[in-house]
Structure 1
Amino acid sequence: MMLWKHPLIQLLNRNKGNPRTLILMEPLWGIPYNLIAPFATLYMYTQGITDVQIGLILSVAMFVQVFFSFFGGIITDKLGRKVTTMLGDFMGWSVACLVWAVSGSFWLFLLAVVFNSFEQINQTAWFCLLIEDAEPKDLLGIYTWANIGGLVAVFFAPISGLLIQSFSVVPVVRVLYVVFAVNMLIKVIITLRHCDETRQGKLRMAETKGTSVSQMLYEYKDLIPKVLKNKEILKVLMVSVILHITNLISANFFSLYVTQRLGIAERYLAFFPILNAAVMLSFMVGIQHRLEGVKFRIPMRTGLIMYAACPILLILTPAGNMLFIILYVFVAAVANALVMPRKDALLQLNIHPQERARINALIMAFTIAFASPFGYLAGWLSSMDRRLPFLFVFVIFVVAIVIVGRIRDPEFAEEQGETG
């Protein structure tokens, strides 16, 4: 009985329809993603893709993602949140995963990430579909649920570790990419049958019906200055860029660091995401709702300080020392639980609902554009010394800590910071 009284369960009961459907579907994406994620970089490296080429693929991918992100808001307004979400899932994941499944060269891996860049269109539409018909006070809880939906899937990760131990990295990851493609096709079908276009989505579709794409692009000339003049959005944007860069580096170079430098066996890679998920789930279910009355800035800054400690901890880890790596994963998980849902909620609370799709798309485009050179930079740093990318991560986390100290809490942002 106590479980049903938990604030997160009550929130899900209040938010039927799109929020509940999208949250419950999240494992369809999360399970195959987390089965593959610990081995994705190793999958490329094992097939002869170098550190520098991996970094170049990441940077090219982000350049293409900027293009799709820029048009994401326009497409979301023209086609609607629901149709755009399905388009992004199909092209960005189903098709991309099939290409990844047969990849064995630099050019095929590059083609796969280009297809995966369609997912950036999905990002704008999916967030709108998730939150637009929900109450503003429920945003932090909804973003917490969205994280939980992905985290539950992480507990399937040992399956890939066990399979790789028996059959090696390449054949296992190829099969998992095919499973991923099928899962996302199922997700598209469920979205079609069980999600509804949002009220704001219907309004924007009607408003933009007679407006050409070129005209909507031209309207960015008025929208971009409004975004850049909103100090609160700019601060959250800068933090988003930093988090995007640090996640990019950590996600793609952690596995290489612990296997190639610290000498940890490949089969253990799948267990680190499980620890991360267990810690985050415990925090989100047991502690997150108790912090709702605390100003956003305090837990965000605490989380960023913990984030900054992580790369130093990893650099200081002696070769073969699993305890230090476990501590690194634990601290990073708590930091993630503190920072990410609040960053997302802060952003939405500072955006005018009428322009949510296009402003979210702009912010995503800005984030990826600013972060795009750092994939190649991280690859170059890693080729010289595998510790250098993580030292760079520490430096930019310090910058994020300073920025968060100047962010206003939501009640002030709502009064003064609406854009549009």
Structure 2
Amino acid sequence: MKNSLLKHPLIELLKNNKGNPKTLILMEPLWGIPYNLIAPFATLYMYTQGITDVQIGLILSVSMVVQVLFSFIGGILTDKLGRKFTTMMGDFFGWGVACLIWAVSGNFWFFLTAVLFNSFEQINQTAWYCLLIEDADSRDLIGIYTWVNIGGLIAIFFAPISGLLINTFSVVPVVRVLYVVFAVNMMIKVIITFRYCEETRQGKIRMAETKNTSVFHMIYEYKDLIPKVLMNKEIVKVLIVCVILHIANLVNTSFFSLYVTQRLGIADRYLAFFPILNAAVMLIFMIGVQHRLESVKFRIPMWIGLVLYAACSVLLILTPIGSSMPFIIVYVFVGAVAGGLVMPRKDALLQLNINPDERARINALIMSFTIAFASPFGYLAGLLSSIDRRLPFVFTFTIYAIAIIIVGKICDPEFAEK
């Protein structure tokens, strides 16, 4: 049993991928543990301190507008400063500083300031993805993204700690301490990135090419790059799916906890249980099933996953008040399988359709488009939730249906040897 586990394709991939992919994968719990301790209670943390549904939605929408700007310049900074340094900068400001502000937040303006600093994380996103996969074989991308997801999922098993603490001390003081822990973890992550990660080959090329090019000139060059991206039909299809998934994740993350506690009457202490169930199912799926689907075309698993996501929205809407726990457990279980099918393939499919010579700026553009298109929907979801807490999930069902149609038209990529 032990030998067969050591020969598992995911273990082999991790052993054979030295350098940046291995370091970044092993570091992922530093971010994942505190994030998942806080995530089930983040919206409740605001709501408990008097932030209304509409204000929560407004904070989300304003932050996404700012994230568009940071995403847009993220590709330029990634090319000029390097993948490694830009990743470190994004972690420091986007998570370290932001979490310290969240830790002392008590009104609308503090929470808004925190999410604005967290917008620096969008610069990190572009650089981090480049640092992760640029020196890796394209055939390993699904495995690498699977490991990234596994790193975050393992961290979720720490979530009961926050549930137990909140049951004893209440939401606000516990979440404040967890935000401080999060900030410390991210500072440690910055140090490890500096010590053990190396700039990628393409990163060094782009740093040399852009050394004497001004930021304003590089922004001006987007006028030629944007049409190239928008004329690539496969990139546009994947981009639309990315936008839909981003919006759906935003709505689900922000309003699920309010829905199950305020409408269905589930106690706050059980919120930490749902991410654990989700993580357990996804881990079983990714370790036991994911590698068996490598020969299956991309769009078939993605299509099935989106159908399952849509079914989850319907299930949540129809869940009866008073006997809701079994329905919510089924919702989490099915959603976890859907995530295992969709997320690694969506990320890999996007990278396989991008010109590697312009990966940083194209990734930044795609991230900017994704956030820009999604930005109004945080406020919309908050408004819908204030009318009826079921309405945000009626909305997610609608956009999942659109994604199902688009994925049916996506072409499966051809793999190239590195």
User: TM > 0.5 between the two?
Assistant: yes
Following TM superposition, the consecutive aligned residue runs of length 4 or more in structure 1 with deviations greater than 6 angstroms are none
> For residues 296 and 311 of structure 1, what CA distance do their matches in structure 2 show?
23
> For residues 13 and 155 of structure 1, what CA distance do their matches in structure 2 show?
24
Q: Is 1:296 aligned with 2:298? A: yes
> For residues 149 and 128 of structure 1, what CA distance do their matches in structure 2 show?
18
* C-alpha distance after superposition, 1:310-350 (max 9, x if no partner): 11100111113200000000010000000000000000000
> For residues 360 and 163 of structure 1, what CA distance do their matches in structure 2 show?
39
- Pick from 325, 332, 335 the counterpart of residue 332 of structure 1: 335
Q: Which residue of 1 aligns with 2:352?
A: 349
* C-alpha distance after superposition, 1:235-271 (max 9, x if no partner): 0000000000000000000000000000000000000
> For residues 4 and 258 of structure 1, what CA distance do their matches in structure 2 show?
40
Q: Which residue of 2 aligns with 1:210?
A: 212
Larger CA deviation: 298-307 vs 313-322: 313-322
Q: Is 1:364 aligned with 2:371? A: no
Q: Which residue of 2 aligns with 1:411?
A: 414
Name the amino acid aligned to 2:391. L
> For residues 336 and 61 of structure 1, what CA distance do their matches in structure 2 show?
25
Name the amino acid aligned to 1:389. P
Q: Which residue of 2 aligns with 1:417?
A: none
> For residues 198 and 402 of structure 2, what CA distance do their matches in structure 1 show?
41
> For residues 40 and 222 of structure 2, what CA distance do their matches in structure 1 show?
39
Identity level (%): 80
Residue correspondence of structure 1 range 239-254 to structure 2 within 5 A: 239-254=241-256
Larger CA deviation: 172-181 vs 316-325: 316-325
TM-score with structure 2 length normalisation? 0.98
- Pick from 22, 26, 31 the counterpart of residue 33 of structure 2: 31
SS in 2 for 1:410: coil
Residue correspondence of structure 1 range 12-411 to structure 2 within 5 A: 12-320=14-322, 321-411=324-414
Q: Which residue of 1 aligns with 2:13?
A: 11
> For residues 277 and 410 of structure 1, what CA distance do their matches in structure 2 show?
29
| Superposed displacement of residue 13, structure 1 | 1.1
Name the amino acid aligned to 1:24. L
> For residues 133 and 14 of structure 2, what CA distance do their matches in structure 1 show?
12
SS in 1 for 2:414: helix
* C-alpha distance after superposition, 1:48-77 (max 9, x if no partner): 000000000000010000000000000000
> For residues 279 and 326 of structure 1, what CA distance do their matches in structure 2 show?
11
Name the amino acid aligned to 1:276. N
> For residues 150 and 86 of structure 1, what CA distance do their matches in structure 2 show?
19
> For residues 6 and 283 of structure 2, what CA distance do their matches in structure 1 show?
17
SS in 2 for 1:304: helix
| Superposed displacement of residue 4, structure 1 | 1.1
| Superposed displacement of residue 92, structure 1 | 0.2
TM-score with structure 1 length normalisation? 0.98
RMSD: 0.9
> For residues 176 and 143 of structure 1, what CA distance do their matches in structure 2 show?
27
> For residues 175 and 299 of structure 2, what CA distance do their matches in structure 1 show?
40
SS in 2 for 1:339: helix
SS in 2 for 1:2: helix
User: Structure 1, unaligned stretches of length 5 or more?
Assistant: 415-420
SS in 2 for 1:269: helix
* C-alpha distance after superposition, 1:333-386 (max 9, x if no partner): 000000000000000000111100000000000000000000000000000000
| Superposed displacement of residue 392, structure 1 | 0.5
> For residues 148 and 207 of structure 2, what CA distance do their matches in structure 1 show?
26
> For residues 370 and 355 of structure 2, what CA distance do their matches in structure 1 show?
19
> For residues 194 and 389 of structure 1, what CA distance do their matches in structure 2 show?
43
Name the amino acid aligned to 1:206. A
* C-alpha distance after superposition, 1:3-39 (max 9, x if no partner): 1100001111111110000000000000000000000
> For residues 80 and 135 of structure 2, what CA distance do their matches in structure 1 show?
18
> For residues 408 and 414 of structure 2, what CA distance do their matches in structure 1 show?
16
| Superposed displacement of residue 96, structure 1 | 0.1
